[in-house]
Amino acid sequence: MHSKFYKILLLVGLGSVVGVILLLQMYRFAVGPQGVEISFPTLSQVSLTSSPENAQCIECHQNESPGILDQYHDGKHSQRGVQCLDCHKPLEGQEKMTTVHYEVQMVAAPTPNNYAQCHDEAVHEFSISAHAAKSWYPVVGAEDFTKEELAKYHLLGEDGKPLNNGKPNVIRDVIGKDASALSCEACHGIGKKNDDGSFGDCRACHLGHDFSIEQARQPETCGQCHLGPDHPQMEIYNESAHGTYYAANKEKFNLGAPTGTLTTKDFPSPTCTTCHMSGIGDIEPTHNVSERLKWNLAPPIATIRADGRQNRQTMESICLNCHAQGTIDEHMTQAEKIIDLTNENVRKGQSIVNELRTIGLLPGSTMSTPIEYLEFELWHHEGRRARFGAIMSGADYVNWHGIYEQEKALVEIKAEAEEMKKD
C-alpha cells in the first residue's frame, strides 16, 4: 500500500519535472530572442527562465531602481526573453569598461558593439551616418580619434590632414570646456566615442529601458537636439502642415507598426522619421539619416552631396506615397531658389569681412569683434533657418527668422565695416 503510493508520487514528481523542462525549452525556442513575438510574459515568467545571475539583477533592482524595471517590463526585450546580461555582459574588447558588480562581471553602459549581437544591420547603418563619429569630431577634434578612424569616417581633408587642423569647432573654445560638457557634448554625444572603440549611443533615440519604437518615431525624440536658433527642425515641423496634421490626429497614427512594412494607413502624415529613416512603400528603413539628403545645408555655403541626386530620388519616393510628382517638383524648385538666395547673401557678407581681414583691420584670433558675430550668424543661424524652413515647409523660418534677418544683418555688416575703415 505504502510503496505503491510512493511510486505514484515519484512518477507524478518526475512527470512534473520533465513537463516543466519541456515548457521551458518551448519558451526558449518560441519566445526567446530569435522566436516569434508574443506579448504575455510578466516578471514571474522572466524570472523563471532567468539564469540565476539575471534573476538576481531583477530581484535586487526591483527595489533599488524600480523605474528601470518598469520600463524593462513594458518593453519588447523582456517579452522576447532578452535579459539584463544579454546587454550588460562584457564582450571581448570591453575589458576597460568591465566592473565586478555583486560578483558578476558587467559593463555599466552597453555600446553599439553589445547591440550588434542582435542588430548588426542597424549598428552598421548608424555607424556610417553623421550621427556617429562625424557628430563627435566637431566637439572634441582629432584627439579622440586614431589615424585609421579619421580615415574611415572621412574626417580628413583633401590635403590628408584632419579637418579644421584637428581642432574642435571654434565656438567650443568660445564657450569653454565646462559649458561644452553640458551642451555641445550632450547633443553631439549621440556619436560619442566609447571605451571599446565603438562610436555612438543608441539610447539617444531609444530612451529608457523599454527601447520603444513608438517613442523613437515621435518628432519630440529628434527634437531633443534638432531645435533652437541654428537648427530649428522641430519648430519648423510644428508649424508645417505635416506637423499640424500629426498634432491634431495623433490617435490615428500607428506608431508601433513593425519596421519595414509601414503604409500611409499607419502614418497619414509624415513625422521626421517617415522622411529620414522609416521604410514606407518600396523604400527600405535605414539608421543612416544621411542617406536621403541631396544637400549639405549646414555649412556657410550649402552644396550638393556627391550622391545627392540619387538621395533626392529616395526622398521623393517617400513624398510620392501622398503627393503628385507635380506638387513635389514645385515645392522643391521653390525651396532650392531660397537655398541659392541664402548662399548669395552669405557670400556678400563674407566678402566684406574678408576684405577687412586682408587689409589687417581684424585681429588674428577669431570671434573677438562684433562684425565676426554678425557674419557668423548670417549663415549659422539665419541662412540655415531659411534653408530648413524652405525645404521642410516652415514659412515663418523662411522669412522672419531667415531671409529678413539676413538682409538686416547685411545692412549692419556694411555699416560696421564702414566705421572700422574710418577709424
Name residues contacting ligand HEC, limited to 198-217 (CB under 6 A). Answer: 200, 202-206, 209, 211, 213, 216-217
Using the rule CB under 6 A, is 232 a contact of ligand HEC?
no
Vertex 382 angle, CA 216 and 314, to 5°: 45
Distance, in Å, from the CA atom of 16 to the CA atom of 10, rounded to the nearest integer, reads 10
Cell numbers for 222? 529628434
Among the listed residues 232, 270, 389, 394, the single contact to ligand HEC using CB under 6 A: 270
Span interacting with ligand HEC, options 10-18, 19-27, 129-137, 412-420, rule CB under 6 A: 129-137
Using the rule CB under 6 A, is 38 a contact of ligand HEC?
no
Using the rule CB under 6 A, is 18 a contact of ligand HEC?
no
Of 328-387, binders to ligand HEC (CB under 6 A) are 328, 331
Distance, in Å, from the CA atom of 121 to the CA atom of 419, rounded to the nearest integer, reads 58
Using the rule CB under 6 A, is 219 a contact of ligand HEC?
yes
Number of residues that bind ligand HEC (CB under 6 A): 111
Of 102-121, binders to ligand HEC (CB under 6 A) are 102, 104, 106, 108-110, 112, 115, 119
Among the listed residues 140, 150, 283, 289, the single contact to ligand HEC using CB under 6 A: 289
Min dist CB 216 to ligand HEC, Å, is 4
Distance, in Å, from the CA atom of 163 to the CA atom of 154, rounded to the nearest integer, reads 9
Q: How far is CA 180 from the centre of its chain?
A: 19
x/- site string to ligand HEC, residues 148 to 177, per CB under 6 A? ---------------------x-xx--x--
Among the listed residues 130, 156, 352, 420, the single contact to ligand HEC using CB under 6 A: 130
Distance, in Å, from the CA atom of 13 to the CA atom of 9, rounded to the nearest integer, reads 6
Min dist CB 197 to ligand HEC, Å, is 14
Using the rule CB under 6 A, is 297 a contact of ligand HEC?
yes
Distance, in Å, from the CA atom of 281 to the CA atom of 270, rounded to the nearest integer, reads 13
- Tell me the three state secondary structure of residue 100: strand
Q: What is the DSSP string of 307-320?
A: THHHHHHHHHHHHT
Each as own residue / partner, the long-range contacts of residues 119-125 (CB below 8 Å, 24 or more positions apart, any chain) are 122/202, 122/287, 123/287, 125/286, 125/287, 125/288, 125/291
Using the rule CB under 6 A, is 390 a contact of ligand HEC?
no
Distance, in Å, from the CA atom of 285 to the CA atom of 266, rounded to the nearest integer, reads 15
Using the rule CB under 6 A, is 285 a contact of ligand HEC?
yes
Of 396-415, binders to ligand HEC (CB under 6 A) are none
Distance, in Å, from the CA atom of 243 to the CA atom of 254, rounded to the nearest integer, reads 16
Among the listed residues 47, 113, 259, 399, the single contact to ligand HEC using CB under 6 A: 259
* Local structure of residue 209 (DSSP, 8 states): T
Using the rule CB under 6 A, is 140 a contact of ligand HEC?
no
Contact criterion met (CB below 8 Å) for 297 and 391: yes
x/- site string to ligand HEC, residues 175 to 194, per CB under 6 A? x----x--xx--xx-x----
Contact criterion met (CB below 8 Å) for 163 and 137: yes
